[in-house]
Amino acid sequence: MQSNAVADVMEANLYVPTWVTGLVLSVLVFFVIIGGVRRIAGLAERLVPLMAVVYILGALVVIVVNIQAVPGALAHIVGDAFTGTAATGGFAGAAVMTAIRFGVARGIFSNEAGLGSAPIAHAAARTNDPVRQGTVAMLGTFIDTIIVCTMTALVIVLSGAWESGTSGAELTSVAFGDGVPGGNWVVTFGLIIFAFTTIVAWSYYGERCAEYLFGVKAIMPYRYLWVVLLFVGAVAKLGIVWLIADVLNALMAIPNLIALLALSGTIFAVTRDYFAREESSR
């Protein structure tokens, strides 16, 4: 999905063919996860905070300039979500259930809540208490969904880009371009950095899973397959990519949610104990 988003916005803003973007991304990721050239990933990781700040500031500029229209924009978003007329999602004539289905699917893709992916990274963190680390993990979901996604949605509506007929990463690029001078370039280069680091991170997640299921011998074949599918994702149609992403996310979420329910007693007990200790130490 990330490679498709990058290819989409590169074609829209720089007229770079999707297969060229896919090839370049595949080569860079190949060097990082197979060739061991970690400096590329390290540079991208250092740029992420800067690009995140620039993105949020750009969104804030659009929102502040159009502050009087914000209540109407929020009402428009909520109203159209439940009347089946949300143009950006292609829901014309759809029922409320369909709108909710797509909203939940896109939300899960954005914040990964319930997929069990983020714990792979959080488990490697150096911390004295799992509850504290879990709280940090939940904060990430809140920031991603409630703050960043809401700001992006407001920019799309306030700029009028939602009526442009575009979708995906190109829609966000058009919205920022209309709302802020040079805003489309902020989205373009920000998306490249965000997508690249996400691709590298997810390759690590999958690698750990492949190693657990099939042993160390599965790591290299997995890495080669990852690079190949990265190129395929860049040149595939957006609708097909979204469909595959939604199905695979569901296949991840279902067993993980079952496990969470089964372990809920332990989770509640450990959480109560942690906050009781925190309260007594004050």
Q: What is the DSSP string of 236-281?
A: S-HHHHHHHHHHHHHHHHHHHHHHHHHTHHHHHHHHHHHHHHHHHT
CB 12 within 8 A of CB 164: no
Look at residues 198, 173, 199, 171 and name the one whose alpha carbon lies nearest to residue 186.
173
pLDDT digits (tens, 9 = 90+) for 183-198: 888 888 888 888 888 8
Q: According to the model, what pLDDT value does residue 84 have?
A: 52
| pLDDT-based confidence at residue 20 (cuts at 50, 70, 90) | very high
Round the average pLDDT of the chain to a whole number and report it: 81
| Max avg pLDDT among 55-64, 120-129, 273-282 | 55-64
Query: Mean pLDDT over residues 80-101, rounded?
Result: 56
Look at residues 33, 88, 91, 20 and name the one whose alpha carbon lies nearest to residue 207.
33
Sign of CA dihedral 64, 69, 74, 80: negative
Q: Is 86's pLDDT higher than 60?
A: no
CB 178 within 8 A of CB 157: no
Q: Is 9's pLDDT higher than 60?
A: yes
Q: According to the model, what pLDDT value does residue 258 have?
A: 93
Query: Mean pLDDT over residues 101-114, rounded?
Result: 73
Q: Is 93's pLDDT higher than 60?
A: no
Q: According to the model, what pLDDT value does residue 87 have?
A: 45
Query: Mean pLDDT over residues 88-108, rounded?
Result: 61
Q: According to the model, what pLDDT value does residue 214 have?
A: 93
Q: Is 83's pLDDT higher than 70?
A: no
pLDDT digits (tens, 9 = 90+) for 30-53: 888 876 656 655 666 677 788 788
Q: Is 251's pLDDT higher than 80?
A: yes
| pLDDT-based confidence at residue 111 (cuts at 50, 70, 90) | confident
Query: Mean pLDDT over residues 94-103, rounded?
Result: 63
**pLDDT higher at 44 or 59:** 59
Q: According to the model, what pLDDT value does residue 278 have?
A: 82
Least confident interval from 10-24, 153-167, 260-274: 153-167
SS3 129: coil
Query: Mean pLDDT over residues 171-180, rounded?
Result: 84
Q: According to the model, what pLDDT value does residue 109 have?
A: 72
Q: According to the model, what pLDDT value does residue 88 have?
A: 47
